[in-house]
Amino acid sequence: MTTFRNLSPKQSEVFEQIAVGNDAGHNPRTLDALWRKNLIERTEQSVKGTLFVVYRYHVPLPIHREWCEWCSQQEVSE
Residues 7-64 pLDDT 10s: 999 999 999 999 999 998 999 999 999 999 999 999 999 988 899 998 999 999 999 9
User: What is the pTM assigned to this prediction?
Assistant: 0.82
pLDDT score of 78 more than 70: no
Strand positions, DSSP E, 1-78: 41-46, 53-58
pLDDT on residue 73 = 83
Q: Please, which residues bridge with residue 44 across strands? A: 55
Using alpha carbons, list the distances in angstroms from residue 56 to 10, 25, 62, 69: 19, 11, 18, 25
Q: What band does 4 get if pLDDT is binned at 50, 70 and 90?
A: confident
